[in-house]
Structure 1
């Protein structure tokens, strides 16, 4: 019987900003786990978690299980959680802050800064930054990501899609990566069809930025229906105005079959509505099966800059949506790019902001970055529960409060029953800062 423990390796965290040609750390193959022994659950029980292939087959009191398979992971001192999923990223833009640096800090300035930079950005640069950002997510515990990616006007319009499809292939053993193509009103239908043929999974876009919001919403839904894809739109990412497209979107997708993905990201405008308006929006989305993704770090940064007093939070009313039966997830959105100069690619950071800015309790905040995110993404349930997929995050922490408040550094990441990242902090001596040792494919 082999006992698996976290091993030391090169840091998976690249320097920032990361040049497109910077070498990445050496990879290590994922290692299958048959049992996680002596790990603690959120309810306080210490258990053995048995895994067969890509399924959790048993969870029993620690030491009470029959003889395990050959690979046993020592889980003593760790808390076993469902691994986070990132339902809304922009990997093609990630880590580009140093090259863009918008003059202003609102959404319009960020869009202008990125579009100016995107004219010269090539597929290799996109690939290098996206791969580095994706590996940061894996190292912090995320095992599934949905990334939006732009179509380009100059040069190869599909270079972002191709770069992300390449990342998906390279990280196939450690990460589930979904690609949503961001369609603008100037992008012809043939370009969108080509993007799906090149690897995009979903139709995306931001119709509230179009000159005819309703018409663009209908066009994007039409394309999703023609191409047989799901849809994930940036919905009403503003606080003031009457150019919302939420009602049109929910009406169009309400008749879709239940399993077909339909997602509304941002939804900032709902947070500026009165209570009856919020309840009506929740009822419409719940009835249409639309999942909502709130993105606290980016929308707290971008929104509300024009308010001199009582600055709005820029978030949808998460609690009201949950109470209204809406499936809600949370993500980080942009990380160190023109839309958000900060961010750690860590679901614990997103959960912390939900507690502070959305007034959620700790357990609900963690649900939004794990089970809620997986549901919105159309992924099978995961976690330390028999019958679920063993996508797990083991954290050396006393409880969910430690996980969210401290962003505990000691982590073991398991995807589909295999260890894909292990990280430990080793204190060399009392006068030397802690050293982080990581192993991440």
Structure 2
């Protein structure tokens, strides 16, 4: 991720800051005093990098931040900037996943470059204001059997926006291909080659397609050939027969694949019989898969019927974490057929995940799921605060993680914008 340049400086000390322990690599040597889920003290910047957290009374300060919270930037590991903000024009009033797919497909016929640019830009602006600096957006890759390398219009528009936002937000584009199309190895290789040539991630929608195993194995094979990251929408339902994530894990293990593989949804993992769930989670851990839970769309679409739903539709978050699997939260769909509400804001997504998955306080424990751990799921290194340059770090207008996640305080400033270079340069 590109970081802002910081001028050569003497030591700069920012007084009275709070740093979430979960965003520090080595809390014991970093310094400061423990205050629940944070370390508190004076933040020392040396030559543009974070050096230490000193005792609050031990040093003169250049700027006193009054106990405000300092974090890494956020990461959005799973969204759909091609579909967002379409709900007001859809002929759809809520229904199953299949009905949402059909409604969005009907709307897609009216997409234009200007329409896509306007809606995706709005999404990127929301992400920027939310403090996100790395984003992966999925983009439908239309299957054209006789021309698998045809680049979708949405992919082109998002590519233009990637370039325009470079230096502010790193945008990854992931192709969303039906897994049955990838069962044809020639087609799979052609798509992978095209994506590799233009920069992107190879992704697919895996549900109950009869040829899903062949498609998954082909995807792993061509990803290794063309050095591509993989991203799957998988098992977005509660039926016990959905087994896509197990097939992915086995394919990755069998071929010895070491690249980043991210699996989104995995809804039925949370409701499977215990022995099956434990065995499947062990395979996921062995394969080194990352899992992204998507609370808003899964809570909205799963277990939908005529009455109040009884199952939450979230994946087995606690069990995955307990097995050492890297787990993140993603926003997924915003104001479209798959979720009629929402905003592109990782903090808001984490709040929904904490509620939906019954994740207990202290709340700062879970921040890596929309920061450092989410970045790792995308194959991106986001340094912890104690190993970071000062440029990317954010100062929030609250001392408490609870206020940040609750939405009462979401204004931020960059750490370096607070320091007056004219006063502290050599």
Give the TM-score normalised by structure 2: 0.81
Q: Determine the C-alpha separation between the residues in 1 that align with 2:402 and 2:333.
A: 25
Q: Determine the C-alpha separation between the residues in 2 that align with 1:157 and 1:41.
A: 44
Residue equivalent to 1:12: none
Q: Shift of residue 171 of structure 1? A: 0.8
Answer yes or no: is 1:121 the counterpart of 2:120. Answer: no
Q: Structure 1 residues 86 and 365 mapped into 2: Cα distance closer, same or farther (>3 Å)?
A: same
Q: Determine the C-alpha separation between the residues in 2 that align with 1:103 and 1:310.
A: 17
Name which of structure 1's ranges 75-84 and 243-252 shifts more when overlaid on structure 2. 75-84
Q: Determine the C-alpha separation between the residues in 2 that align with 1:413 and 1:278.
A: 43
Q: Structure 1 residues 258 and 197 mapped into 2: Cα distance closer, same or farther (>3 Å)?
A: closer
Residue equivalent to 2:29: none
Summarize the alignment of residues 272-287 of structure 1 with structure 2, pairs less than 5 Å apart: 272-287=271-286
Summarize the alignment of residues 2-401 of structure 1 with structure 2, pairs less than 5 Å apart: 32=6, 37-38=14-15, 39-42=17-20, 43-50=38-45, 52=47, 55-61=49-55, 75-152=65-142, 157-184=151-178, 185-186=180-181, 188-189=187-188, 190-200=190-200, 202-254=201-253, 260-306=259-305, 308=307, 311-361=310-360, 362-387=363-388, 391-401=392-402
Q: Structure 1 residues 347 and 65 mapped into 2: Cα distance closer, same or farther (>3 Å)?
A: same
Q: Superposition RMSD on alpha carbons, in Å?
A: 2.9
Gapped regions of structure 1 (runs ≥ 5)? 1-28, 420-441
CA contact (8 A) 2:327 2:374 kept: yes
CA contact (8 A) 2:94 2:337 kept: no
Q: Structure 1 residues 48 and 257 mapped into 2: Cα distance closer, same or farther (>3 Å)?
A: farther
Q: Structure 1 residues 250 and 58 mapped into 2: Cα distance closer, same or farther (>3 Å)?
A: same
Gapped regions of structure 2 (runs ≥ 5)? 21-37, 419-426
Q: Equivalent residue of 1:242, what SS?
A: coil
CA contact (8 A) 2:261 2:289 kept: yes
Give the TM-score normalised by structure 1: 0.78
Q: Structure 1 residues 344 and 206 mapped into 2: Cα distance closer, same or farther (>3 Å)?
A: same
Which of the two has greater helix per residue?
Answer: 2
Q: Name the count of aligned residue pairs.
A: 383
